């Protein structure tokens, strides 16, 4: 076993009369990869700050086994001087702590995806993801013995997440991190510490293993509870039988001393069994709480036609080109994930589908029979003065007692307690507000849900409930998300914005992810050439769409001469589509 580096011993934290957690004890060892998990508000970030020395515990101690051990800390909220550059940040850090060379500062920036040009941008011009990467580069520069990361995956696109996974797996020291990215936890962590208000429980393995072990623990707990309750019922029946016999014997004994004594002894035996039963009840386990399953009976709208969305030559540009000449379709019942680098146009594509933006070129058609529900990242359509129950019921005209019961049940499925449903919307956390918005959409008479970052602000259990809901939902779902676990579990199709083109992956997230890894293994292959060679198989509707477009282009070419100014562009597009259709027919 590797040597211990840090020990948390009976830590507690309170703010005034409000206790966050108590009795927190665990050990971090050399080379550990540990994830700290638990519901929102349980104190994960607070515990990380205590270990980093940024906050004091109310009681308990943090012990370092080696006084020379160094600790690096990357917080959720990153505060940089907006007037300096990433290069300034790392060189200032170098001068402050000494030793690393300028070349190591350059390597740190490069390792976390900063080009030479990026390194000279002002911090004020960086995105949230770029600031996260800069914070990681700054702490990586000195390779601390213990690295504490609080939500390091925030705002990172898939390429940056893949890069961070490689760095975490290859890091020479110990890492303790908090993250809601379950895909990331699966690929990086070997131990899970589950934090609760009254202690921790440790599990060996990654996040998926942790959830499987939790389910097994629940099943074992339930089996023990049911066995003990069966035994309690058996003993109670025996007690009732003995009491009845003793009472009857006492009545029948009359004045006969022998029989009266026997009846009294029977009554005493019954009392003894009662005492043992009460003691048994005190040591028996409580009934484990079963999570409610999510169902949608009576809430899913039908209609909208077989084809929901069709894009033909779709192009969109603002100050810069986002994507061009792209074709795709969405069928009824599809669960579609839209992915791409930050700034590639994912949210813009949602707005094109919703009709909030118009194409620069090409067309996008949406079936007139669809009833679309949209949830953006800002949650602007929630009434802050309404209660949770009132806000969900506001989606319905006829609020029957049966509907109110269904709404209360759905709120319970999404982790709202009976007391929570009467809370005002304005006092809810961002994650709780998002859950209310999702319930409103899921229970409305809609057949297409369009969701922009639906898991943002949700804790791990809430994300799992959302996945359960979307998998069970019978309508069509189109979503943008950085949550790869959600994309893998829910999405049957992926639209990826890459090389300024929208590509379809009919095999879902796994096919998309394998394609990205294959490209990474062949970095010298031209992106456009790779796209041509690795195009996924087309579904029937997409093939018919391309065949129709090919016929139209052929008609245009037949009426043009090679001297016409648009001839070469149309001919190029004709051959690209013809090639894609040809590859689609190849085995």
Residue pLDDT, tens place only, 102-144: 888 888 899 898 999 999 999 998 888 888 899 999 998 888 9
DSSP 163: H
Mapped onto helix, strand or coil, the DSSP state of residue 502 is strand
What is the pLDDT, as a whole number, of residue 196? 92
Contact criterion met (CB below 8 Å) for 11 and 47: yes
Residue 234: phi and psi, rounded to 5, are -65, -45
What is the pLDDT, as a whole number, of residue 500? 92
For residue 535, pLDDT beyond 70: no
DSSP 144: -
DSSP 344: S
Residue with tokens 């779902």: 477
What is the pLDDT, as a whole number, of residue 302? 55
Contact criterion met (CB below 8 Å) for 494 and 509: yes
Characterise 540 by phi-psi region: left (phi > 0), alpha (psi -120 to 50), beta (else). alpha
Contact criterion met (CB below 8 Å) for 195 and 47: yes
Characterise 337 by phi-psi region: left (phi > 0), alpha (psi -120 to 50), beta (else). beta
Run of H or E including 243: helix 207-253
DSSP 538: P
Least confident piece of the model among 169-178, 183-192, 389-398: 389-398
Percent share of the chain, pLDDT over 90: 40
For residue 24, pLDDT beyond 90: yes
Percent share of the chain, pLDDT over 70: 88
Instruction: State mean pLDDT over 352-370.
Output: 93
For residue 530, pLDDT beyond 60: no
Q: Which of 307, 312, 308, 305 is nearest to 547 (CA)?
A: 312
Least confident piece of the model among 161-175, 297-311, 404-418: 297-311
Q: Are strands 361-366 and 307-317 parallel, antiparallel or unpaired?
A: antiparallel
For residue 527, pLDDT beyond 60: no
Q: Which long-range contacts (CB under 8 A, 24 or more apart) does 284-287 make?
A: 284/225, 284/228, 284/229, 284/232, 285/221, 285/224, 285/225, 285/228, 286/225, 287/222, 287/225
What is the pLDDT, as a whole number, of residue 299? 47
Q: Which of 201, 165, 186 is nearest to 38 (CA)?
A: 201
DSSP 57: -
Per the prediction, the chain carries an average pLDDT of: 85
Instruction: State mean pLDDT over 346-358.
Output: 94
E-only strand ranges, 300-334: 307-317, 321-331
Residues with Cβ within 8 Å of residue 526, at least 6 apart in sequence:
none
* HEC letters along 412-473: HHCCCCCCHHHCEHHHCCHHHHHHHHHHHHHHCCCCEEEEECCCCCCCHHHHHHHHHHHHHC
């Amino acid at each position: 076993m590797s040597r211990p580096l840090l020990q948390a011993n009976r830590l507690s934290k309170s703010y005034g009369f409000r206790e966050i957690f108590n009795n927190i004890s665990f050990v971090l060892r050399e080379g550990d990869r540990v994830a700290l998990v638990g519901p929102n508000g349980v104190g994960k970030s607070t515990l990380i700050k205590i270990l980093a020395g940024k906050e004091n515990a109310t009681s308990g101690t943090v012990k370092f086994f080696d006084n020379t051990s160094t600790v690096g800390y990357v917080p959720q909220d990153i505060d940089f001087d907006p007037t300096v550059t990433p290069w300034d940040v790392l060189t200032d850090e170098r001068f402050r702590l000494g030793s690393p060379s300028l070349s190591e500062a350059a390597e740190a920036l490069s390792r976390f995806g900063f080009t030479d040009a990026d390194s000279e941008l002002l911090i004020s011009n960086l995105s949230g993801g770029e600031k996260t990467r800069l914070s990681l580069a700054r702490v990586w520069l000195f390779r601390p013995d213990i690295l504490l990361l609080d939500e390091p995956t925030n705002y990172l696109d898939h390429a940056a997440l893949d890069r961070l996974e490689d760095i975490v797996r290859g890091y020479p020291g110990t890492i303790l991190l908090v993250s809601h990215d379950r895909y990331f936890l699966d690929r990086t962590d070997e131990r899970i510490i589950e934090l609760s208000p009254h202690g921790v429980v440790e599990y060996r393995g990654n996040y998926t293993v942790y959830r499987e072990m939790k389910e097994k623990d629940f099943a074992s707990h339930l089996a023990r509870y049911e066995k003990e309750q069966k035994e309690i019922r058996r003993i109670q029946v025996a007690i009732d039988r003995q009491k009845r016999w003793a009472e009857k014997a006492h009545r029948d004994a009359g004045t006969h001393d022998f029989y009266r004594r026997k009846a009294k002894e029977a009554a005493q035996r019954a009392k003894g069994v009662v005492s043992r039963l009460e003691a048994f009840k005190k040591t028996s386990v409580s009934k484990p709480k079963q999570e409610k399953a999510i169902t949608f009976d009576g809430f899913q709208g039908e209609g909208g036609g077989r084809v929901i969305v069709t894009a033909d030559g779709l192009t969109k540009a603002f100050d810069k080109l986002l994507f061009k000449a792209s074709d795709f379709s969405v069928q009824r019942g599809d669960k579609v994930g839209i992915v791409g680098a930050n700034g590639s146009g994912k949210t813009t594509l949602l707005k094109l589908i919703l009709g909030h933006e118009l194409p620069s070129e090409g067309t996008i058609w949406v079936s007139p029979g669809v009833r679309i529900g949209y949830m953006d990242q800002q949650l602007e359509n929630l009434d802050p003065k309404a209660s949770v129950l009132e806000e969900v019921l506001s989606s319905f005209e006829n609020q029957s007692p049966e509907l109110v019961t269904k709404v209360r049940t759905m709120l319970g499925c999404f982790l709202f307690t009976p007391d929570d449903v009467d809370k005002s919307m304005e006092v809810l956390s961002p994650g709780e507000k998002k859950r209310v918005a999702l319930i409103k959409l899921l229970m409305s008479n809609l057949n297409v849900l369009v969701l922009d970052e639906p898991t943002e602000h949700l804790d791990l259990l809430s994300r799992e409930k959302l996945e359960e809901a979307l998998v069970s939902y019978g309508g069509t779902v189109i979503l943008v998300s950085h949550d790869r676990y959600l994309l893998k579990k829910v999405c049957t199709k992926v639209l990826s914005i890459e090389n300024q083109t929208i590509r379809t992956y009919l095999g879902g997230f796994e096919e998309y992810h394998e394609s990205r890894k294959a490209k990474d293994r062949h970095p010298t292959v031209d992106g456009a050439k790779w796209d041509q060679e690795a195009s996924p198989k087309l579904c029937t509707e997409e093939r018919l769409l391309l065949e129709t477009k090919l016929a139209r282009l052929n008609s245009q070419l037949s009426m043009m001469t090679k001297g016409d100014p648009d001839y070469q562009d149309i001919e190029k597009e004709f051959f690209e589509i013809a090639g894609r259709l040809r590859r689609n027919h190849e085995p």
